[in-house]
Amino acid sequence: MKKIKLNTLTLDLWDSMSMPAVADNWFNYYLINQSGTGSTIEDVRRHYSGAILRLRSDDLAGAVIELENADYTLQNMAMNFNPLHCAWACLIATIDSEPLKSYDHDYLMEIVERCSADGLTAAILNESLEDVKKTRIRAQALLS
């Protein structure tokens, strides 16, 4: 477990090896959602560029997928939904000794907003995610 102290909240975060299976499944779901669609204008541009490249290669089906992903990204942006933030929230074991109640994206976004209001920064969030990713990569290398 990793402990993060915000202004008034104390978070206990799972490391990748001790994360419960359900949290791990949701964590992976949100990471895949982020990598597949995204949540920023740069992600929208990436999808449009991909669609143009696929059209130039006569790959109409691939272009349609890229355009659909651009649309999903725009929807994420309109709803202020960031899958990466939800993935991070899945790492939380407890907030002030209280366990998370759900991995539903609305609940997780409430958690992220609550933590942000209490001092959570993008740097803290990204560092926590990178620590877990590195641990997973090392664990997979040992298993191979």
For the stretch 87-131, pLDDT in tens is: 999 999 999 999 999 999 899 999 999 999 999 999 999 999 888
> What pLDDT is stored for residue 26 in this prediction?
95
**Residues 143, 98 contacting (CB under 8 angstroms):** no
**Per-residue pLDDT at 46 exceeds 90:** yes
The answer on 57 and 110 residing in a single domain is: no
- CB count, 10 Å around CB of 124? 16
The answer on 106 and 56 residing in a single domain is: no
Mean pLDDT value across residues 58-76: 96
The answer on 110 and 60 residing in a single domain is: no
> What pLDDT is stored for residue 93 in this prediction?
96
- CB count, 10 Å around CB of 140? 10
Mean pLDDT value across residues 34-47: 93
**Per-residue pLDDT at 137 exceeds 90:** no
pLDDT above 90 covers a percentage of the chain that reads 74
Q: Which amino acid is at 18?
A: S
- What mean pLDDT value characterizes the chain? 92
Q: How far apart are CA 81 and CA 87, in angstroms?
A: 11
**Residues 15, 2 contacting (CB under 8 angstroms):** yes
**Residues 111, 99 contacting (CB under 8 angstroms):** no
The answer on 92 and 75 residing in a single domain is: no
The answer on 87 and 22 residing in a single domain is: yes
**Per-residue pLDDT at 138 exceeds 80:** no
**Per-residue pLDDT at 144 exceeds 70:** no
> What pLDDT is stored for residue 48 in this prediction?
98
Question: Degrees (nearest 5) of the Cα angle 74, 24, 38?
Answer: 15
User: Is the torsion defined by CA of 91, 95, 101, 102 positive or negative?
Assistant: negative
User: Is the torsion defined by CA of 139, 131, 109, 49 positive or negative?
Assistant: negative
The answer on 124 and 104 residing in a single domain is: yes
Q: Which domain holds residue 127?
A: 2-34+81-143
Domain tally, the chain: 2
> What pLDDT is stored for residue 135 in this prediction?
80
The answer on 133 and 66 residing in a single domain is: no
